[in-house]
Amino acid sequence: MQAQATNTVDPGEIAKFEAMAAEWWDPAGKFKPLHMMNPVRLEYITNQISAEFDRNLKADKPFEGLHILDIGCGGGLLCEPMARLGATVVGADAAERNIPVAQIHAEQSGLDIDYRHTTAEAMADAGEQFDVVLNMEVVEHVADPLGYLTACQQLLKPGGLHLCSTINRNPKSFAMAIVGAEWVMRWLPKGTHEWKKFITPDELFNLISKAGMEPVDRKGYVFNFAKFTWSISDRDLSVNYVTAALKPAD
């Protein structure tokens, strides 16, 4: 399935990630921040899915029978653990060069994941629907956040779960996500993020509601410089944060 032109894809943002595609699975490369954050991302995702669909995470394949879409999947850092937990997984990305990287790594890992170069709008137009849509660190890179979130809503089955993470917009997030991560630590190339595209938690909840979903939870991802680790916070959403929302059941 080929990517189609939409009003939410930002070609400049796609070019940034295509330039880094080969480094997705290098924990010391340009995606080092995601590798460091991935354990807390997975903790939140698995806990939300297990609670919503009444799954026992101690079971062998707790997500068996669930159809999960990771939109903006990159190299598959979230797709692979979802597949290992038993889910049927589709990974979609508008950056074409990400797909073969993800496919090769999944094959090497013995995992069957359906990777596609496409967009949320194209999949929604095709009538596809999923139990869960993972929308992680993508909304701050699109041209039309409301249009994009509306497409994500259309991709959910009634009663489906939408998990969306992004970066808050305030002086602290500029200092941490841009000055710290891009300029000082050089974890990401300069220009990876644009501060003006960051979205506050209240703004994101409002957009999610306008898109036809019901926000039900939000948490912060907090980086501890002393321990050099990430943790989940109920209160500190000042930089990175994640939200959960449901599509109303019919």
**Annotation: binding site for S-adenosyl-L-methionine:** 41, 72, 93, 136
d(CA 86, CA 65): 7
Task: Check if the beta carbon of residue 239 is closer than 8 Å to that of residue 173.
Answer: yes
The C-alpha R_g of the chain, in whole angstroms, comes to: 17
SS3 state of residue 152: helix
Residue 168's closest CA among 222, 246, 107? 222
Contacts of 101 (CB under 8 A, 6+ apart): 21, 22, 24, 25, 75, 76
Residue 109's closest CA among 79, 89, 80, 88? 80
SS3 state of residue 100: helix
Task: Check if the beta carbon of residue 120 is closer than 8 Å to that of residue 90.
Answer: no
- Dihedrals phi, psi of 59, to nearest 5 degrees: -70, 165
Residue list for the binding site:
41, 72, 93, 136
Task: Check if the beta carbon of residue 8 is closer than 8 Å to that of residue 86.
Answer: no
